[in-house]
Structure 1
Amino acid sequence: MKNLMLKVGTFFFKYRNQAFPLIIVALFVAAPPTVSIFGSTELERWKDVVALVVILSGLVLRATVIGYAYIKRGGLNKRVYAKDLVTEGMFGVCRNPLYVGNMLVYSGLFLFHGNPLVVVVGCLVFAFIYQSIIYAEEEFLADKFGQGYRDYCRNVPRWGLKLSAFASSTEGMAFNWKRVIAKDYSTMSSTLIAVVATEFYRLAADSITEQEISYAVVLGALLVAVLAFTGLTSSLKKLGVFDDMTTAH
């Protein structure tokens, strides 16, 4: 089983930027988002609040990771690679904090959609894919860094957050908010777009009533604002506004 997961992990490490959006779109198209839970719109609203909190916690975790110690997750030529073994910042709290953040974001998006099929299948598929990617990375890191990496694995959990280690892991480090914006603005934008698109999908599942037109306009304006933010941030990045940020830890 692990050999299969290593192959799956190697594949998705290389093609995740293309595959993940396709998987999410396929799941969301396969079933419409829920408008009520057991006939209750109040429960649906509370479910959405929980989903948004989960999404936000994932984005905050990603920002914390990148702000303290960024690791280029694209590898080398889209293959698993690491020049150094980074164990400080949030990597002293969890071995895969970015992936934990991603799983929170994806799980929140699936929960926000609400269809049981999407929630269950989406969470299971992405958990399997990320565990496979982690196996592929662990094999590379164990081979390259040997005993140092094995000691690191004994002290730091793979998926859990050892929050008691946060203070010592970030001691003497400065949080780099510019790096967070430069490196993660696309993730923030795509997540917001997914939330807005899902809400509009839910609104337009049947037909938009006169009472819902103003809400649809708000959603459209929010989408435009997110796209404008994305374009502005991309332009500022090209102009070198973020050039003084450190690209390593």
Structure 2
Amino acid sequence: MTAAMIGIGNFFFKYRNQLFPAMIVALFLLAPPPAHGSSAAEPVMAIAAILLVVAGLGLRATVIGYAYIQRGGLNKRVYAKDLVTEGMFGVCRNPLYVGNMLIYSGVFLFSGNPLAVVLGIGLFAFIYQCIVLAEEEFLENKFGDAYRAYCRDVPRWALRLGRFHSATEGMSFNVRRVIAKDYSTLSATLITLLVIEFYRAALNEGLTRSLPYVAVLAGLLALIGLTTGAISRLKKRGVFSEPKPIH
């Protein structure tokens, strides 16, 4: 079973940038967001969803701001040059993936369709578990006893926040790196939430009756798109590059 999950993990690690968006679209086509007012629990679910998304984005920002590691691998394969154990990686072995799961859970909950919530969270939790197993196999083979000791000391998924101070002691938070490395995640998350809300608003009253609200949503989508493009251009110009050390 573990070997099969590792194979699945390697596959999704390689193709996740293409497959994850397609899977989310497929899930929403299978279980589309219901119209506003279809459930008495809708306001509570929406608030809980936003809190989960904010927590996920905040966790990712904290991870990247203190000790970023390249999660893209090498040639789309699991790879690590060094064993990173400081920053949030001293609190949890996979804090970026925990952040991702919080975001995905919030997005699926925001959709308001119970089927999307159950299928979406369950499917992505399984996939991330497979990816983590694939990464763990690589890291154990490369770093041996050092990695096994790290695994004994730091949990795979739980956040031992009591260790945050000691894990980040002497480190400084790098805002530039957060913007440069994670602006696309923030943009994609906000666009997904707005598209869901756009669909629900149009479904609830029709495009004509909900036109003012839909126009606001469209304006926000355009603003996010323009901001994302501007940050991308600034990044290419090196605005967010970290200063080189002076020797």
SS of the aligned residue for 1:194 comes to helix
**What is the percentage of aligned positions where both structures have the same residue?**
61
Q: Partner residue of 1:161?
A: 159
Counterpart in the other structure of 2:7: 7
Letter in 1 for 2:96: L
Alignment pair present for 1:30 and 2:30: yes
Which residue type is aligned with residue 213 of structure 1?
Answer: L
> How many angstroms does 1:36 deviate by?
5.3
- Structure 1 residues 210, 15: closer, same or farther in 2, change over 3 A? closer
Q: CA deviation at 1:211?
A: 5.1
Is the 2:36–2:200 Cα contact (8 Å) retained in structure 1? Answer: no
Match of 2:74 in 1: 76
2:201 aligned with 1:236, yes or no?
no
1: CA distance, partners of 2:133 / 2:215: 45
| Residue 16 to residue 237, structure 1, CA distance change in 2 (3 Å) | same
- TM-score, with normalisation over the residues of structure 2? 0.95
CA contact (8 A) 1:59 1:188 kept: yes
The aligned counterpart of 1:189 is 187
Q: Alpha-carbon deviation of 1:245?
A: 5.3
Report the CA distance between 1:207 and its aligned residue. Answer: 4.4
Q: Distance in 2 between matches of 1:122 and 1:210?
A: 31
Q: Give the match for residue 176 of structure 1.
A: 174
Aligned residue identity for 1:81: Y
Maintained 8 Å contact 1:179/1:245? no
AA partner of residue 28 (structure 1): F
- CA contact 2:35–2:204 (8 Å) conserved in 1: no
Instruction: Measure, in 2, the Cα distance between the counterparts of 1:4 and 1:95.
Output: 22
Residues 190 and 38 from structure 1, CA distance in 2 versus in 1: closer, same or farther, beyond 3 angstroms? closer
Is the CA contact 1:32–1:205 (under 8 Å) kept in the aligned structure 2? Answer: no
Report the count of equivalent residues.
244
Identify the match of residue 227 of structure 1 among 211, 225, 228: 225
Summarize deviations over 1:116-173 as a string: whole Å, max 9, x none: 1110000111000000000000001011111111111011010000111100000000
Alignment of 1:81-120 (within 5 A): 81-120=79-118
Greater shift, 192-201 or 209-218, is seen at: 209-218
Structure 1 CA distance for aligned equivalents of residues 11 and 132 of structure 2: 12
Q: Deviation digits for residues 41-95 of structure 1, max 9, x if unmatched?
A: xx21221111011011000000000000000001111111101000000000000
- Separation of aligned partners in 1, 2:102 and 2:187: 16
Task: Supply the distance in 2 between the matched residues of 1:31 and 1:216 (Cα, whole angstroms).
Answer: 22
Contact 1:178 1:245 (C-alpha < 8 Å) held by counterparts: no
Q: Is the 8 A contact 1:8 1:129 kept in 2?
A: yes
C-alpha displacement at 1:212, in angstroms?
Answer: 2.3
How many Å separate the matches in 1 of 2:207 and 2:192?
23
- The amino acid that maps onto 1:82 is A
CA distance 1:170–1:92, change in 2 (3 Å) = same
Structure 1 residues 216, 28: closer, same or farther in 2, change over 3 A? same
Letter in 1 for 2:175: W
Name the TM-score, length of structure 1 as normaliser. 0.94
Q: In structure 1, list runs of 5 or more residues that go unmatched.
A: none
Find out whether 1:18 has 2:18 as its counterpart.
yes
Change (3 A) 1:20 1:92: same
